[in-house]
C-alpha cells in the first residue's frame, strides 16, 4: 500500500551513510535526494536505489533547505526530512504512516525525539538538543538562520512518540571535528554581525512552550556568559548528567566544549579584525 509521505534527504559526499538511510525510508514511493554536487558515489547510490536526484550548489544551510522545499516536486502532501546519518525506527515509520492519515488541517508538522549515538552508546543524558521537526507540510515550512538552521512552520506542531536514531560519528571523530570547525566559523560570524537575538529573555529561555524558541533564547543568553566552554562542560557532565552515559558521555561533553571554545576564539579574532 502506498503511503502518503515523501522523503527528502540532503547530501554532500554521503556514500558511507546514504545506503542505510535509503533502506530505512524504503516505505515511501517518493524519495528525493537533494545533492550539493558530491564528488563521491552519493549520486550513483541514490539512483541505484530508485531515488529522484536533484542537484544545487550549496550556499548556506537555510537557503539550501528552503530551495529544496520550494523546487522539489513532491508526490505527497507530507514530507519526512531525515539527514543521511539518521534512521527512523520501525515504530516511528508506522506511527508516521498512521498519523498523517488523521492529521488535522491545523497541523503543519510533527516533532520527533532524536537519539544520538557515540561508541554504540545512546547519549541519553549528554545530548543537548533531542527534539527536531522532521515531518512537515512543505508549503507551510521555512528555514531561518544560516547555521544550525531553525525550521519554522505556519501551523500547529505536534509530537510523535517514537524515536529517530542519529549517528553523528559514523564517519569518525576527525570528520565530526572538521564539520564543527566549519560550524564554529559560521557561528562566530553570526555573533560578530549580531544577527542573533538582541534582547533574549530568561523567562522565554526557561518557560516557553516551544522547544526551538527556548533554544534560541538560551543560546543568545549563553553567548553573553564568560567562560562558556568550561560552563558548557560542567553543565553537560553534572547538570545534564552526561557522566551517566559513561565514557561516551564524557567524550561528547568534551567535544562540545571544544566546539564552544572555537566559537569564542574565532569571535574574538573577528572583533580584533582578524581573518
Give residue-wise pLDDT tens across range 131-171.
999 999 999 999 998 888 989 999 999 999 999 999 999 99
When mean pLDDT is compared across 71-85, 165-179, 196-210, the lowest value belongs to 196-210
pLDDT of residue 83: 98
The span from the CA of 185 to the CA of 166, in Å, is 24
pLDDT of residue 159: 96
pLDDT of 28 over the 90 cut: yes
Spell out the SS3 assignment of 3-65.
CCEEEEEEECCCCCCHHHHHHHCCCCCCEEEEECCCCCCHHHHHHHCCCEEEECCCCCHHHHH
Q: Under the phi-then-psi rule, with left for phi > 0, alpha for psi from -120 to 50, and beta for the rest, what region is 6?
A: beta
pTM score: 0.87
Q: Which has the higher per-residue pLDDT, 139 or 211?
A: 139
pLDDT of 25 over the 60 cut: yes
Kindly list the domain boundaries of the chain, sorted by start residue.
5-166, 173-271
pLDDT of residue 238: 97
pLDDT of residue 1: 47
In the CATH hierarchy, which fold is given to the domain comprising 5-166? Spore Coat Polysaccharide Biosynthesis Protein SpsA; Chain A (3.90.550)
Percent of the chain beyond pLDDT 70? 97
Please compute the mean of the pLDDT values over residues 83-112 and round it to a whole number: 96
The span from the CA of 261 to the CA of 245, in Å, is 23
Please compute the mean of the pLDDT values over residues 199-213 and round it to a whole number: 82
What is the average pLDDT score of the chain? 93
Percent of the chain beyond pLDDT 90? 77
Cell of 231: 560552563
Please report which confidence band the pLDDT of residue 198 belongs to, taking 50, 70 and 90 as the band edges.
low
Cell of 183: 560550524
φ/ψ (deg, to 5) at 173: -60, -40
Please check whether residue 170 is in contact with residue 16, taking contact to mean a CB–CB distance below 8 angstroms. yes
Amino acid at each position: 500500500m502506498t503511503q502518503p509521505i515523501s522523503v527528502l534527504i540532503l547530501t554532500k559526499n554521503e556514500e558511507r551513510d546514504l545506503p542505510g538511510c535509503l533502506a530505512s525510508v524504503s516505505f515511501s514511493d517518493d524519495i528525493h535526494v537533494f545533492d550539493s554536487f558530491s564528488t563521491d558515489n552519493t549520486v550513483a547510490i541514490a539512483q541505484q536505489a530508485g531515488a529522484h536526484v536533484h542537484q544545487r550548489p550549496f550556499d548556506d544551510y537555510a537557503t539550501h533547505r528552503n530551495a529544496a522545499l520550494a523546487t522539489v516536486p513532491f508526490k505527497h502532501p507530507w514530507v519526512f526530512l531525515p539527514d543521511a546519518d539518521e534512521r527512523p525506527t520501525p515504530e516511528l515509520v508506522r506511527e508516521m504512516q498512521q498519523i498523517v492519515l488523521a492529521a488535522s488541517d491545523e497541523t503543519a508538522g510533527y516533532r520527533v525525539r532524536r537519539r544520538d549515538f557515540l561508541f554504540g552508546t545512546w547519549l541519553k543524558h549528554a545530548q543537548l538538543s533531542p527534539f527536531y521537526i522532521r515531518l512537515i507540510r512543505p508549503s507551510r515550512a521555512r528555514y531561518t538562520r544560516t547555521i544550525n538552521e531553525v525550521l519554522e512552520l505556519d501551523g500547529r506542531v505536534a509530537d510523535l512518540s517514537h524515536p529517530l536514531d542519529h549517528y553523528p560519528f559514523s564517519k569518525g571523530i576527525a570528520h565530526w571535528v572538521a564539520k564543527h570547525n566549519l560550524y564554529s566559523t559560521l557561528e562566530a560570524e553570526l555573533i560578530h554581525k549580531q544577527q542573533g537575538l538582541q534582547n533574549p529573555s530568561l523567562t522565554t529561555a526557561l518557560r516557553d512552550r516551544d522547544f526551538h524558541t527556548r533554544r534560541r533564547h538560551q543560546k543568545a543568553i549563553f553567548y553573553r556568559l564568560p567562560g562558556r566552554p568550561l560552563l558548557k562542560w560542567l553543565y553537560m557532565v553534572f547538570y545534564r548528567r552526561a557522566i551517566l552515559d559513561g565514557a561516551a558521555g564524557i567524550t561528547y561533553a568534551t567535544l562540545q566544549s571544544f566546539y564552544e571554545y572555537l566559537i569564542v576564539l574565532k569571535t574574538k579574532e573577528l572583533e580584533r579584525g582578524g581573518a
